[in-house]
Amino acid sequence: MAELVGGAFLSATLQVAFDRLASRDILDYFRGRKLNEGLLKRLHITLISINQVLEDAEESQYRNPNVKQWLDELKDAVFIAEDLLDEIATEASRQKLESEYRANTSKILLSSKMSSSEPPMQVITIVGMGGVGKTTLAQLVYNDNRMEDLFQLKAWVCVSEEFNVVQVTKAILEAVACSTKESNDLNLLQLQLRERLMGKKLFLVLDDVWNENRTTWEILQAPFNYGTLGSKIFVTTRNKKVASVMHSAHIHHLKPLAEEDSWKLFAKHAFNDQRSGMDSNLVSIGRKIVKKCGGLPLAIKTLGSMLHRGQSCQEWANILESDIWHLSEDDSNIILALRLSYHYLPSNLKCCFSFCSVFPKDYEIDKDLLIQLWMAEGLVHSWRKDQSIEEVGNEFFNDLESRSFFEPSRRRNGRYFIMHDLLNDLAKSVMGEFCFLLDSNSSQK
């Protein structure tokens, strides 16, 4: 009985082989490789001949051992043929996909040339000094619901001062593909990115770009040429030369806030947006403080958040008349305003904030992990029996966040936060030589 079933299986396997030999993919493969089509026909005839005697052989194998041996050898041959057909089918599919890929690539490149000189991706650059609100503006655009209808892919990459093509490419790929192979091979990464962008409209934000090397930018943007027309790159930078290097189609110079807008932003944070019934003396002092901020939103917001906690005229006057305003700083009054905010922090919060100097710029800080690190460093203590040390650490973090030292990251799940670059600089400045930033190059030492 088992042999009969085996014979039936062999007959069915041969039928599958017939069908596969007659398939379009197999025929195209033989033609494409310039193989002898006569060989394919002879193989087909042989299989038909075998199939015709198979039924008789299945019955006579019990009377003739030689027939049984022939059937066993035939089974081996059929299995080998199946494996060969699998390989041919796989190779045929690969060639077909490769052909379609080349055709699509040619089509996209041709359409790009036909539409008067517009590149597939258009660069829009926002230029402005630190703390003026470039990243905030980019976030408003990036998170606008209308972007979901306009673009199929979105990615946000914080670049900062070190423009590493491999790392930036990997970050873009992770954003648009949700995952990527652990590889530092730029060619492989760019091939993966090119395939992901093929025929798709992308909106990419490159935040805080400093690179002035045109060649570096040209290497990075090579895969972008395979995206669909209408794709956009939104760049934020403090350096006007970056806009030229990146061949920006549009450059928008973001200026500091006007005096009245500066006051409105300050009042929002200092008075919780409750402007009715404000103390006229506080308003008078507050407007003078705002003028010292030079229209820079980060400085205004940070000082406003700090002054919200102290509503006495004397406290506000102390801020206005502080000697810190007269220190020499290269980056305008914004660093002075941030130093003031740090100077008036309670001592326990000063320690917790300065500890954050260990994080690189644009690092997404895990709130729970940071509190545990504070605890491990002995920066958090609980003096009440009804309050755990974790609860005290949470209070410290919330206090710093309310003073605008932290802000929610783009993940917006309530757990991850970032520090503005200038606040990161402030933390490192406060720590000085006592801060050691662990990077990938020194991680094994």
Say if residue 22 is in the same domain as residue 135: no
Confidence of residue 30 (pLDDT cuts 50, 70, 90): low
Contacts 24+ apart (CB under 8 A), 375-384: 379/348, 379/351, 379/352, 379/355, 380/348, 380/352
Gap between the Cα atoms of 169 and 188, Å rounded: 10
The answer to whether the CB of 404 falls within 8 A of the CB of 301 is: yes
Q: Looking at the DSSP assignment, which residues form a beta bridge with residue 160?
A: 209
Residue 135 within any structural domain of the chain: yes
DSSP 223: G
Say if residue 43 is in the same domain as residue 152: no
Strands 416-418 and 365-366, by their bridges, are: antiparallel
| Confidence at residue 435, expressed as pLDDT on a 0 to 100 scale | 55
| Confidence at residue 98, expressed as pLDDT on a 0 to 100 scale | 57
| Confidence at residue 16, expressed as pLDDT on a 0 to 100 scale | 63
Over range 51-55, report the average pLDDT. Answer: 64
Over range 92-103, report the average pLDDT. Answer: 58
Confidence of residue 279 (pLDDT cuts 50, 70, 90): confident
Could you list the residue range(s) of the whole structural domain that residue 66 is in?
A: 2-112
Give phi and psi for 74, each to the nearest 5. -65, -40
Gap between the Cα atoms of 248 and 251, Å rounded: 6
pTM above 0.85, yes or no: no
| Confidence at residue 397, expressed as pLDDT on a 0 to 100 scale | 93
150-175 pLDDT tens trace: 899 999 998 877 788 988 998 898 88
Residue 138 within any structural domain of the chain: yes
117: left (phi over 0), alpha (psi -120 to 50) or beta: left
Say if residue 427 is in the same domain as residue 285: yes
Is the pLDDT at 6 greater than 50? The verdict is no
CA angle 295, 292, 239 (to 5 degrees): 45
Of 399, 287, 291, whose CA–CA distance to 341 is shortest? Answer: 399
331-355 pLDDT tens trace: 556 777 888 888 888 888 888 998 9
Q: What is the mean pLDDT of the chain?
A: 78
172-228 pLDDT tens trace: 988 888 766 677 888 888 888 888 888 889 999 999 898 888 888 889 988 888 888
Say if residue 425 is in the same domain as residue 394: yes
Q: Looking at the DSSP assignment, which residues form a beta bridge with residue 417?
A: 365, 408
The answer to whether the CB of 243 falls within 8 A of the CB of 127 is: yes
- CATH (domain of 137): 3.40.50.300
* Percent of the residues in the chain that have a pLDDT greater than 90, as a whole number: 11
| Interaxial angle between packed helices 297-307 and 280-292, expressed in degrees from 0 to 180 and rounded to the nearest 10 | 150
Residue 70 within any structural domain of the chain: yes
Say if residue 267 is in the same domain as residue 218: no
3-state secondary structure of 417: strand
Total domains present in the chain: 3
352-390 pLDDT tens trace: 998 998 888 888 899 999 999 999 988 888 887 888 989
